[in-house]
Amino acid sequence: MNEIVKVTDLSQTFYTKEGELEVLKDINFSLNEGQILTLLGPSGSGKSTILNILTKLLKPTSGDVVIKGNIGYMFQKDHLLEWRNIMDNITIGLEIQNNKTKESIEQVEKLLKTYGLWEYRYMYPKELSGGMRQRVALIRTLAVNPDILLLDEPFSALDYQTRLLVSDDVFKIIKNENKSAILVTRDISDSLSIKVQL
């Protein structure tokens, strides 16, 4: 398998008024193409810090990170813009990248049709359920055609029943679209649901 993420001896220390705060120490992992990797740990254990390092929002104190491919980031909250309809929310990344072409729009339309959101494309976020909003957020992330998806506790804002349904949807979409992903979560059930899907 082709290795697309390699993290070696990663450490991160923050400096506060109280002194040094070591958040990560000697972290090592890799991600192969087509694989979904789960980073499981309690709140405050540095999971999101790892994602911030992978996206280069944060420079590690020490260690080496090698990434082969483009990254798409799905946050804890859907961050949909309430004044934009679903189609406009999904294409915002394409607009930012100046890549809103006929081909990219056709790909978005295909994703909407495939994953049951086509009839909602002109509705607004407030008109959708929490689970549907998360599906929209995932399709928005996929619209820019990333090689690697980073998912930062994407189900934490949902109630238990909804998160079970949405996690099934999300992992099926990731698998169908042949994407590689790193999921960070504090909930072991999220991790187990991946194994059920694979």
Backbone phi, psi, residue 38, to 5°: -110, 130
pLDDT of residue 65: 96
Q: What is the value of pTM for the model shown?
A: 0.82
Contacting residues for 8 by C-beta, under 8 A, at least 6 apart: 28, 63, 64, 65
Burial (CB < 10 A; 0-12, 13-18, 19+), residue 83, is exposed
- Per-domain boundaries in the chain: 3-197
pLDDT of residue 175: 83
> In whole angstroms, what is the distance from residue 74 CA to residue 48 CA?
12
> In whole angstroms, what is the distance from residue 83 CA to residue 97 CA?
21
pLDDT of residue 195: 47
pLDDT of residue 16: 82
> In whole angstroms, what is the distance from residue 123 CA to residue 130 CA?
14
pLDDT of residue 193: 52
Using the structure block, give the residue that is written with the tokens 């976020």.
Answer: 125
* DSSP tally for the chain: helices H, then strands E: 7, 7
**Which of 42-48's residues contact partners 24+ apart within 8 Å by CB, and which partners?**
42/186, 43/186, 45/186, 46/12, 47/152, 47/153, 47/184, 47/185, 47/186, 48/152, 48/153, 48/184
pLDDT of residue 161: 61
Contacting residues for 129 by C-beta, under 8 A, at least 6 apart: 162
Question: Quick one: tokens of 92?
Answer: 């915002």
pLDDT of residue 160: 62
Q: What is the pLDDT along the chain (198 residues), one digit of tens a residue?
A: 689 999 999 999 998 888 888 999 999 999 999 898 988 888 888 888 999 999 999 999 999 999 999 999 888 788 899 999 999 999 999 999 999 999 999 999 999 998 889 999 999 999 998 888 888 988 999 899 899 999 888 766 666 666 666 677 777 778 888 889 998 887 665 555 554 444
CATH architecture of 3-197: 3-Layer(aba) Sandwich (3.40)
